[in-house]
Amino acid sequence: MPDLSISPLPITAPTTAATVRVWDVPVRVFHWVLVVTILLAFLSSEEGSALAPWHIPAGWIAALLITFRLVWGFVGGEHARFADFLKPGEIAHHVGGLLSGKPERTIGHNALGGVAIIALLGTVGGIIYTGATMQGEAEGGLHETWANVLIGLIALHVIAVIAMSLLTKDNLICAFITGRKRADLHPGVSDARSPTPLGLPIATVAIGAAAYGITLVDPVAFSPGAHAEVGENGGGEAGEGAGDND
């Protein structure tokens, strides 16, 4: 008599591609908070904007973020450190790969990406400085010029990230959200070294010191709309330009 029993279907667990850890949590948080802060600064740059009261606080928040990133470049995770991606000697090789249409994958920032990071940080710093020291129309024009330069750099950065993601089949945007990359695209690469044990305490102290210094320069630095109120009361000349960043 034939066996009419039904064999159970094999159950296989879903497989996921192995990944390798690249970006630590603090550097990813910094990146996306800076994106939001810069967006807020631009949207609040017009006096008639509903977000206008946030313009100066956004500039000072950006200053705290830049402070963190400078410190984290020395005490952060392996690929967040300046020593890992500031490699001028590799720029020509990287450009050659781009021109041939076959750029090499890099686990961290590539050589041009490293230059872009410094350019972006420096430009944001220039905007903060010109906003904080603005006294007249000439300084305001310089502040706006720095802001326009930043727009250009951001556009180039976004284009470069998308282009490299397509050329190398390595999703760079996803990597800066999850902190991980596909291991099969980077054979032989192990998880990135973690930040220095004292990294976060050091960065926290640096941010606290920077915040204290900012409040010495501008006591209402982080209070939305406070500068307008001070100006209306007739005593706000020192605070009107401080931190006024586009």
Query: Are 41 and 55 contacting, i.e. CB atoms less than 8 angstroms apart?
Result: yes
How are beta strands 180-182 and 19-21 bridged, if at all? antiparallel
**DSSP structure class, residue 15:** P
- Say what the alpha-carbon torsion angle 195, 196, 201, 206 is, to the nearest 10 degrees: -80
Measured in whole angstroms, the distance separating CA 245 from the mean position of its chain's CA atoms is 17
Query: Are 221 and 61 contacting, i.e. CB atoms less than 8 angstroms apart?
Result: no
Q: What tens-digit pLDDT sequence spans the chain (246 residues)?
A: 555 555 554 444 444 569 999 999 999 999 999 999 999 999 999 888 899 999 999 999 999 999 999 999 999 999 999 999 999 999 999 999 888 888 899 999 999 999 999 999 999 999 999 998 876 666 678 899 999 999 999 999 999 999 999 999 999 999 999 999 999 999 999 999 999 999 999 999 999 999 999 999 999 999 998 887 765 554 443 344 444 444
In the three-class reduction of DSSP (H, G, I as helix; E, B as strand; rest coil), residue 29 is classed as helix
State whether the Cα torsion 29-27-114-207 is positive or negative. Answer: positive
Query: Are 243 and 56 contacting, i.e. CB atoms less than 8 angstroms apart?
Result: yes
Q: Which residues pair with 110 in a beta bridge?
A: none
Which pair of tokens denotes residue 93?
A: 């090789």
State whether the Cα torsion 166-172-173-175 is positive or negative. Answer: positive
Which pair of tokens denotes residue 20?
A: 């390798």
Query: Are 80 and 24 contacting, i.e. CB atoms less than 8 angstroms apart?
Result: yes
Instruction: Report the run of H or E that residue 180 belongs to, with start and end.
Output: strand 180-182
What CA–CA distance (Å, rounded) separates 210 from 117? 21
Radius of gyration of the chain (CA): 23
* pTM: predicted TM-score of the whole model, two decimal places: 0.85
Closest CA to 122 of 160, 69, 85, 173: 69
